[in-house]
Amino acid sequence: MKSLSVSTWVLGVSLLAGLCVVALPAWAQPKGEKKFQAVLTDAQGVETDVKNVIFYWEEKISETAFVPHELKQIPVKRGTTTVNVKFDTIKVIDVKPGSDPKALPTLLVTLINGKTGEFALAIDGKFKGDSDFGEVELPASGLKKVVFK
């Protein structure tokens, strides 16, 4: 068996060190992000307890390609400004349907600290998560209320 030359040994050690530097941030991250649970009430009054709640929408980049977005916040409009209200600050969202079937709903957001604000939903998305019976998808426009636990 041949012995390794110094340059081959240095190259091997350098590659191993490089892999450690790249992989270290993944090892150092916390075990999981905060997961949210909410009771979603649809327009018919049916309540669904949903775990791992996200706000989901797809951005169309071509006729056949979409980019999925999974948010832990609600993008809403206040005038011309888009505000991203984070789930961990929200207590309740009351949903009022749009003026016509194609219009996005208006959201009355109540924060944990008691402050309220009325906003237009900025993006036509849906709430997704897991129920005891399987994966749940509820379009924001088909909701009446969202209560975060």
Q: Is a pLDDT exceeding 90 seen at residue 27?
A: no
Rg (alpha carbons) of the chain, rounded to whole number: 23
Contact 149, 51 (CB under 8 A): no
Each residue's pLDDT tens digit, 50-66: 999 999 999 989 989 99
Res 111: pLDDT:
98
Percentage above 70 pLDDT, the chain? 79
pLDDT band at 16 (very low <50, low <70, confident <90, very high): very low
CA-CA-CA-CA torsion for 62, 103, 57, 70, nearest 10 degrees?
A: 150
- What whole-number distance in Å separates Cα of residue 50 and Cα of residue 59? 24
Of all residues in the chain, the percent with pLDDT exceeding 90 is 70
Rounded to the nearest angstrom, the gap between the alpha carbon of residue 54 and the centroid of all alpha carbons in its chain is: 4
**Side-chain half-sphere CA neighbours of 63 within 13 A:** 0
Q: Which residue has the tokens 């649809």?
A: 42
Please report where in the chains the tokens 């992989």 appear, as a residue.
23
Token duo for residue 66: 């979409």
pLDDT at residue 45 is higher than 70: yes
pLDDT given for residue 103 in this prediction = 87
Specify the pLDDT at position 7: 54
Q: What is the pTM of this model?
A: 0.75
Q: What is the mean pLDDT of residues 13-22?
A: 46
